[in-house]
Chain A
Amino acid sequence: MLMGLFNDWIVVILMMIGLYIVIAHGNLIKKLVGLTIFQTSVFIFYISMAKVDGGTAPILSDDIVQYSNPLPHVLILTAIVVGIATTALGLALVVRIKESYGSIEEEEIQLQDNEIKDESKEEAQP
């Protein structure tokens, strides 16, 4: 039971680690790392789903009778590209956040935003 679903266990454990990092950490880079781990677990899930016992790579040949399903591999190739784009965009945002806030800690950024809000409220009620 445990060994038969080995890949699924890995997928679920990685997924939970990833989600936990995204939720629990205040550092923006660490959050992105968590997000990447979370996405990677889904890639593994798709890839292991395609495996057929005793099947090989889908290359036409006379002495091969069973193939693994290539479709999920192709799908996940697309998802990997999307994942890279997301990470790149996220990192670019973090760079600009660092430039304008001087910090990449969630708490400090929110503190700075709230200060501005309080000031504008005081101005509005003279």
Chain B
Amino acid sequence: MINHLPVLIVVIPLMAAPICLLLNRPKLVWLFSLFASTLVFLISISLLQQVMDSGVISYDLGGWQAPWGIEYRIDKLNAFLLLIISAISTIVLFAAQTSIEKEIPKNKHTLFYILYLLSLTGMLGIVTTGDAFNVFVFLEISSLSAYALIAMGKDRQALWASYQYLIMGTIGATFILIGIGLMYQMTGTLNMEDLSQRLPEVAQTRTVFTAFAFVIVGICLKLALFPLHLWLPNAYAYAPSIVTAFFAATATKVAVYLLIRFTFSIFGLSFSFTHLPLQTLFIVLGLVGIFVASVAAIYQSNIKQLFAYSSIAQIGYMIVGFSVATVSGLTATLLHLFNHALMKSAIFLALGAVVYRVGNVQLSSFYGLGRQMPLTMAAIVVGGLSLIGVPLTVGFVSKWYLLLALLEQGWWPAAVLVLLGSLLAVVYVWKVVEAAYFKEPLATATPVKEAPMTFIIPIWILIIANIYFGIDTRLSVQVAEAAAQSLFGAAL
């Protein structure tokens, strides 16, 4: 049993999805999905422990040996990602039943959970697999269910947002498919380990350059890296709150993982960063992304859209860390993956609670909510402080490591710009705080009560995690550092 864990982590949610269809009672389906997600979370903890103790786990699917069959390969990097995805999924799912009661018609509840589980399957699959083509298949499983989930939003804009995401997402995935095809043409293999050994021989050909370009642009579309981010704000703003909380914390993280996996493990450090100007390109796009998205966030009056823009800015930070291309830079990126997942899922869940009570997330609806929903608003404040990077929150830890990495290379201007970007975060977080605490409620607004416990508990679990991992950084830093080192170990 224990040596089948790498495949069970994908198979459990995949099999749970059709079983939901048979159960067909919303409450029961919810409990069952929660059970499946918890199981996956436990498996991911066990896998992380195994990997930290005894190194890489390789699993041959169906007993077919690695270069021929499909291999599932768990190293420190993807064990870390699995933990983030499954933990967030479980916590968010806890609040799902209450939240979708008001946002999705009753007869679609079962379908909602099925899509949620399939999307989870896709993300876990992308992370576990060691086969390049398998990545494409799982990418499409998670994306197709994501389009459908976003279209479930109650406003009609959700349909339009979903359609735009479908077009952009499909182009991105097809680009990745072209890239993988070109790589297969040159090397005759799809196994990632095998690819990394055979690619250096043919690295100086135009076909491999083209393959690299297609794969990177495709991933950046999924990543919503500036200027390919146009699908993200509407998709996050109009999707059901639970979906936003889940995707904001996981979907873009999976794309960051793919970027790291393809550049560091498959193409190799020297190819990606020495032969090609990836470093300059990414640090510029990352920094511009931070500023453009943060400024755009300041001007939003829909709070979900405001934090969606902030997500794009946070991706900018991850890309800046990535483009440093040192162990400390990559550590900062991985830490920010973990930390950003904690803060954004907490904030979007809190916004879900506001939608549950108030019905919308326009700025004017927040007037006076500080007194009416104290616990929810306090959560948004702590999450916001974490976004800014105030000490004692996780946001501080990842920004600190990012600055160290930049200064280590003597990149002063970039470090200053990163700090200025944080100041912009102060402005847009303050907008929400000001509305909630210092404005009188509108005369037309009806007073509301605090959100139900099914919201408060998961939100505060995440907020406490925000503070806990901001003070006791041993676990997150240790794992992120080990993962970054293992990537560089493979590259040398």
Contact = CB atoms under 8 A, between A and B. Distances in A.
Interface of A: 19, 22, 28, 31, 35, 38-39, 42, 45-46, 49, 72, 75, 78-79, 82, 85-86, 89-90, 93-94, 96-97, 100-101, 109, 113, 120-121, 123-124
A35 B167 contact: yes
A114 to B, nearest CB: 11
Contact of A97 (B140, B148, B160, B178): B160
B147, B167, B170, B181 interface centre (most CB from chain A within 10 Å): B170
Contacts of A120: 301, 362
A101 to B, nearest CB: 7
Given A22-B171, A42-B177, A124-B364, 18 more contacts: A31-B167, A35-B170, A38-B174, A39-B174, A42-B181, A45-B181, A79-B136, A86-B144, A89-B144, A90-B166, A93-B151, A94-B163, A96-B151, A100-B159, A101-B159, A109-B160, A123-B364, A124-B363
A42 B364 CA distance: 49
Contact of B170 (A45, A86, A109): A86
10 pairs of A and B residues whose beta carbons are closest in the complex: A100-B156, A82-B140, A93-B163, A124-B364, A97-B159, A96-B159, A49-B185, A86-B170, A46-B181, A90-B166
B301 A93 contact: no
A36 B181 CA distance: 18
Contacts of A28: 163
Contact of B171 (A35, A45, A90): A35
A86 B140 contact: yes
Given A75-B133, A90-B163, A124 B178 contact: no
Main secondary structure of the interface of A (DSSP, over half): helix
Given A35-B167, A39-B174, A120-B362, A89 B147 contact: yes
Contacts of A72: 181, 184
A101 B184 CA distance: 44
Nearest to B148: A89
Contacts of B133: 75, 78
Interface string B345-378: 0000000000000000011100000000000000
B301 A124 contact: yes
Contacts of A42: 174, 177-178, 181
Question: What range describes how many residues of B lie at the interface?
Answer: 20 to 34
A93 B147 contact: yes
A123 B364 CA distance: 9
Contacts of B167: 22, 31, 35, 90
Contacts, number: 75
Given A78-B137, A96-B151, A121-B301, A89 B166 contact: yes
8 contacts: A38-B174, A39-B170, A45-B178, A79-B136, A82-B144, A90-B163, A121-B301, A124-B362
B46 interface: no
Contacts of B159: 93, 96-97, 100-101
B263 interface: no
Contacts of A121: 301
Nearest to A39: B174
B157 A113 contact: yes
Interface in B150-201: 151, 156-157, 159-160, 162-163, 166-167, 170-171, 174, 177-178, 181, 184-185
Contacts of B147: 89, 93
Give the one of B136, B159, B178, B185 with max A CB within 10 A: B159
A35 B148 CA distance: 18
A19 B170 CA distance: 11
Nearest to A110: B160
Interface in B233-292: none
Given A31-B167, A86-B144, A93 B181 contact: no
A34 to B, nearest CB: 9
Given A42-B177, A45-B181, A72-B184, A85 B362 contact: no
Contacts of A38: 171, 174
Contacts of A100: 156, 159
Interface in B315-371: 362-364
B364 A97 contact: no
A100 B166 CA distance: 18
A115 to B, nearest CB: 12
Contacts of B136: 79, 82
Contacts of B177: 42, 79
A62 to B, nearest CB: 24
A2 B157 CA distance: 48
A52 to B, nearest CB: 12
A74 B411 CA distance: 48
A11 B259 CA distance: 26
A93 B185 contact: no
A97 B163 contact: yes
